Amino acid sequence: MLTELFEKDKLRFLLFGGKGGVGKTSCAAATALWAAENGNETLVISTDPAHSLSDSFGEKIGDSIRKINGIKNLYGLEIDPKKAIREYSEKIKSTPELGLPIDIETDELEELTTLTPPGADEALAFAKVLEFIEKPEYDIIIFDTAPTGHTLRLLSLPDILNSWVGKLIKMRAWIQKMTAFFKRILGRGEEEDKTMEYLEKLKKTIEVARAELSNEEETRFIPVMIPEAMSIYETERLVRTLYEYEIPVTHIIVNMIHPEVPNCTFCAARRGMQIENLKIINEYYSDFSIVYIPLFPTEIRGIPKLKEFAKYLFEEEFTPKID
Ligand SMILES: Nc1ncnc2c1ncn2[C@@H]1O[C@H](COP(=O)(O)OP(=O)(O)O)[C@@H](O)[C@H]1O
Ligand SMILES: [Mg+2]
């Protein structure tokens, strides 16, 4: 059950991740709903370009924070990577010193001038995420992340961005020295440098975010999977990378477990396939808390369905029979 995570009052960030279609958004939305109904000021953020938080809640959310209708304490946000990229390019255009001939390694310069740290969309989603990590007004922030590959890149971004911002700071410092020199020669006064201040602040923020993401008291990444081979492989890869980045993982959700249906050979075959995979999952993740969710006869859309779904995450343990 995820309930035990909420018993520690320091929990602040829950991230759901996994392959497309396994139920990340449903888990994130249901968890957010439960958290809000249990008295937490809650923000649920989607960083998946294929947004479906709106679909899940049955109302338009969009790229600025919106209160979810009829639920106290619950807010949603869908970060739009394309829009963030546009905002970002505007910022770059207003940083003219990057055009200066500078005496640093060419590849370094290239890296700096293209100014698209690997995976611009993830970088921007992450930059946006940083804004929320600093927001003390929410008790719990829940992330509905993009499918595995994107998320893994997103997780490595604090390190990449930090070294990138670090280089930029060095470069600025050098430019400032030169500028100060010329100003002295030309007899002009010193001017304040806001860019430097901004970069230093950004570097701090990234460091704080990195620290928070790997803090066991505050953060959990919860992989969501289904009992199928492809999902097992992807989850293995995801969990390994989470370990590498020291992001705490203690719970795993196994979704869409087929019910027993009498007199249905098709259903029995699917169930049989799932049972074999469940055995593998149980063995592989024996050190984790595994939360199972049955396959519903309907989609998980709208508040009542999300509440029903949330029961399996927080109230009644569902244990599939596998032998
Ligand atoms: N346990 C379940 N039973 C039935 N349908 C489910 C279940 N979990 C998720 N779904 C449905 O499956 C689809 C994919 O789920 P979603 O949460 O959007 O996955 P993801 O965000 O990982 O792509 C959605 O239509 C959702 O309503
Ligand atoms: Mg989704």
Q: Extract the tokens encoding 157.
A: 């971004």
**Which residue has a Cα nearest atom 5 of ligand 1?**
299
Tell me the β-bridge partners of 225.
254
Residue 96 lies in a domain: no
**pLDDT tens for each residue of the chain, 323 residues long:** 999 999 977 899 999 999 999 999 999 999 999 999 999 999 999 887 777 899 999 999 988 899 999 899 999 999 876 676 666 556 555 554 443 333 444 454 444 444 444 455 555 566 667 777 777 789 999 999 877 666 666 666 667 666 777 777 777 777 777 776 666 666 655 555 666 676 677 777 777 877 888 899 999 999 999 999 999 999 999 999 899 888 899 999 999 999 999 999 999 999 999 999 999 999 999 999 999 999 999 999 999 999 999 999 999 999 998 88
Domain tally, the chain: 1
Residue 34 lies in a domain: yes
Residue 259 lies in a domain: yes
Residue 253 lies in a domain: yes
Alpha carbon distance 260, 281 (integer Å): 20
Which H or E run contains 272? helix 265-284
Q: Of 88, 90, 55, 61, which is closest to residue 74 (Cα–Cα)?
A: 61
Is the C-beta atom of 22 inside 6 A of ligand 1?
yes
CA of 163 to the centre of ligand 2 (A): 31
Alpha carbon distance 11, 134 (integer Å): 15
Interior/surface letters 146-171, b for 16+ CB within 10 angstroms, e for the rest: bbbebbbbbbbbbebbbebbeebbeb
**Which residue has a Cα nearest atom 11 of ligand 1?**
299
Tell me the β-bridge partners of 157.
none
Question: In this predicted structure, what is the pLDDT of residue 275?
Answer: 97
Question: In this predicted structure, what is the pLDDT of residue 114?
Answer: 47
Is the C-beta atom of 46 inside 6 A of ligand 1?
no
Residue 58 lies in a domain: yes
Residue 134 lies in a domain: yes
Nearest ligand 1 atom to the CA of 299 is 27
What pairing do the DSSP bridges indicate for beta strands 251-257 and 289-294?
parallel
Which H or E run contains 136? none
Question: In this predicted structure, what is the pLDDT of residue 190?
Answer: 54
Question: In this predicted structure, what is the pLDDT of residue 99?
Answer: 39
**Which residue has a Cα nearest atom 8 of ligand 1?**
23
Residue 207 lies in a domain: no
CA of 48 to the centre of ligand 2 (A): 7
DSSP-assigned states of every residue in 17-39: E-STTSSHHHHHHHHHHHHHHTT
Question: In this predicted structure, what is the pLDDT of residue 48?
Answer: 77
Question: In this predicted structure, what is the pLDDT of residue 229?
Answer: 96
Q: Residue 256 is part of which domain span?
A: 3-83+120-152+217-314
Question: In this predicted structure, what is the pLDDT of residue 113?
Answer: 42
State the DSSP code for 190.
Answer: P
Residue 322 lies in a domain: no
Return the CATH number at 130.
3.40.50.300
